[in-house]
């Protein structure tokens, strides 16, 4: 029974895996060296590794975003939270503070942002789009307050290592993304937490009557999203060795939502997969890289993304599902 369920799980992942394969194959077609990897100083290099590395921030964001969307919400503030966490980290690092304090403060800032969003949604019962819009609007202002409007740069090698070092032959951001995703996936699937999140997504009131602590679970989902955004902010800050309150994480909330949607998580709640969201993030980054490699202007990116979302919307829509069920039934003898 468990085996059958797992197999069904793999079957459910087929569209995402196929999409990724098609995009990678297209990249390979325009750029024959795409899959070439070489090992140097115990670290892998190549276009594929580059795709993984550049896709890491969105992948990390998509972990929290998956949980939030699964509760039928959305978190528009993740880009602004990235900017806040990055501003906190860069300012403290520039002050010469020890690394544990730098990272701890950035994560705490992310957690505080997430709890604020969760409070608005779960306790004050404000629509998620609007609740998180407040922080999206103010967040960059807050980040600018932290950096006093400057672009803060730092030289602390310990913080830079968050992006520049490597483990298991892979760049650190990739390792962080995979580790976080595995921990989060285990946490929701090995416990009843995932089930509760799905229940809230389908019908919050009914799940509350059924004894699910809807408030607590919602708070946890938004808190996770805030912390994930802080981690992504740390990675980006470490990568450029500085914090830019205006541009750090700009529009990444949209990429994260797109990654989650490509990963097959339902916008109507009730069905989600963290690992497939990671595949979604990879698809987006592979598309970006592919467009770059193919010599088309990078401006094509947005149009391609729009077309991809539209196709997925059509496939996900209840209207098309009903049509598919209808056709299947009429096919049966």
Partner 1 sequence: MNARHLPLLATIGVFLVAYALATLQFPNMASTRVVANLLTDNAFVGVAAVGATFVILSGGIDLSVGAVIAFTGVFLAVTIRAGLDPIAAFVLVLAITTAFGAVMGAMIHQLETPPFIVTLAGMFFARGACFLLTTDSVPIDHPTFAAIASWSWKIPSGGRLTLVGVVMLVTFVIGAVVAHRTRFGTAVYALGGNRQSAELMGVPVGRTTVAIYALSGFLSGLAGIVFALYTSAGYSLSATGVELDTIAAVVIGGTLLTGGVGTVAGTFVGVLIQGLIQTYVIFDGTLSSWWTKIVIGALLFAFILMQRGLLAAAARRRENARAGARVAAA
Using an 8 Å Cβ cutoff, are 287 and 301 in contact?
A: yes
| Residue 267 vs residues 237, 254, 263, 264: alpha-carbon distances, Å | 31, 14, 11, 9
Q: Select 33 or 299, whichever has its Cβ closest to partner 1.
A: 299
Q: Select 11 or 298, whichever has its Cβ closest to partner 1.
A: 298
Give the integer Cα–Cα distance in Å for 70 and 123.
18
Q: Select 19 or 47, whichever has its Cβ closest to partner 1.
A: 19
Q: Which of 85, 119, 101, 128 is nearest to 252 (CA)?
A: 85
Shortest CB 125 distance to partner 1, Å: 7
Shortest CB 83 distance to partner 1, Å: 11
How many Cα neighbours within 13 Å face the side chain of 205?
1
Shortest CB 147 distance to partner 1, Å: 10
Residue 153 in 3-state DSSP?
Answer: strand
Q: Select 171 or 201, whichever has its Cβ closest to partner 1.
A: 201
| Tokens found for residue 236 | 């980006």
Q: Select 30 or 313, whichever has its Cβ closest to partner 1.
A: 313
| Tokens found for residue 15 | 């569209």
Q: Select 202 or 304, whichever has its Cβ closest to partner 1.
A: 304
Q: Select 63 or 143, whichever has its Cβ closest to partner 1.
A: 143
Q: Select 67 or 245, whichever has its Cβ closest to partner 1.
A: 245
Shortest CB 39 distance to partner 1, Å: 38
Q: Select 168 or 296, whichever has its Cβ closest to partner 1.
A: 296
Shortest CB 75 distance to partner 1, Å: 12
CB atoms within 10 A of CB 151: 15
- Residues in CB range of 232: below 8 A, 6 or more apart: 56, 57, 58, 60, 61, 78, 82, 249, 252
Percent composition of the chain: helix, strand, coil (DSSP 3-state, to 5): 75, 5, 20
Dump the DSSP string for 162-211. HHH-EETTEEHHHHHHHHHHHHHHHHHHHSTHHHHHHHHHH-HHHHHHTT
User: Using CB under 8 A as the criterion, which residues of the chain lie in contact with partner 1 when the complex forms?
Assistant: 74, 124-127, 129-130, 133-138, 140-142, 144-145, 149, 245, 254, 257, 261, 267, 297, 299-307, 309-310, 313-314, 316-320
Q: Which of 306, 200, 324 is nearest to 261 (CA)?
A: 306
Residue carrying structure tokens 């909330």: 253
Shortest CB 251 distance to partner 1, Å: 8
Shortest CB 130 distance to partner 1, Å: 5
Give the integer Cα–Cα distance in Å for 261 and 276.
9
Shortest CB 127 distance to partner 1, Å: 6
The angle formed by the CA atoms of residues 81, 84 and 90, to the nearest 5 degrees, is: 135
Shortest CB 308 distance to partner 1, Å: 9
């Amino acid at each position: 029974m468990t085996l059958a369920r797992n197999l069904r799980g793999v079957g459910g992942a087929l569209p995402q895996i196929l999409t990724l394969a098609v995009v990678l194959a297209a990249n390979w077609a325009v750029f024959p060296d795409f899959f070439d990897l070489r090992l140097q100083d115990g670290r892998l290099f190549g276009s594929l590794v580059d795709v993984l590395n550049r896709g890491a921030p969105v992948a990390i964001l998509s972990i929290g975003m998956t949980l939030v969307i699964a509760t039928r919400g959305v978190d528009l503030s993740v880009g602004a939270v990235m900017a806040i966490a990055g501003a906190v980290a860069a300012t403290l690092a520039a002050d010469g503070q020890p690394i544990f304090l730098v990272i701890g403060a950035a994560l705490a800032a992310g957690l505080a942002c997430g709890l604020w969003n969760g409070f608005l949604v779960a306790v004050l019962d404000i629509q998620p789009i609007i609740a998180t819009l407040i922080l999206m609007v103010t967040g960059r202002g807050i980040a600018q307050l932290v950096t006093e409007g400057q672009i803060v740069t730092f030289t602390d090698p310990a913080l830079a290592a968050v992006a520049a070092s490597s483990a298991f032959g892979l760049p650190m951001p990739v390792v962080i993304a995979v580790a976080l995703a595995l921990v989060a996936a285990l946490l929701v699937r090995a416990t009843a937490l995932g089930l509760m999140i799905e229940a809230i997504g389908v019908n919050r009131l009914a799940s509350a009557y059924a004894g699910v602590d809807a408030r607590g679970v919602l708070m946890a989902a938004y808190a996770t999203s805030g912390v994930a955004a802080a981690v992504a902010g740390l990675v980006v800050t470490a990568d450029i060795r500085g914090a830019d309150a205006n541009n750090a994480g700009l529009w990444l909330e949209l990429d994260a939502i797109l990654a989650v949607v490509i990963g097959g998580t339902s916008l109507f709640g009730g069905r989600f997969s963290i690992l497939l969201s990671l595949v979604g993030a990879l698809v987006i980054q592979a598309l970006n890289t592919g467009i770059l490699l193919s010599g088309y202007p990078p401006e094509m990116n947005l149009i391609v993304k729009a077309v991809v979302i539209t196709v997925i919307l059509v496939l996900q829509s209840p209207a098309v599902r009903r049509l598919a069920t209808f056709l299947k039934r009429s096919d049966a003898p």
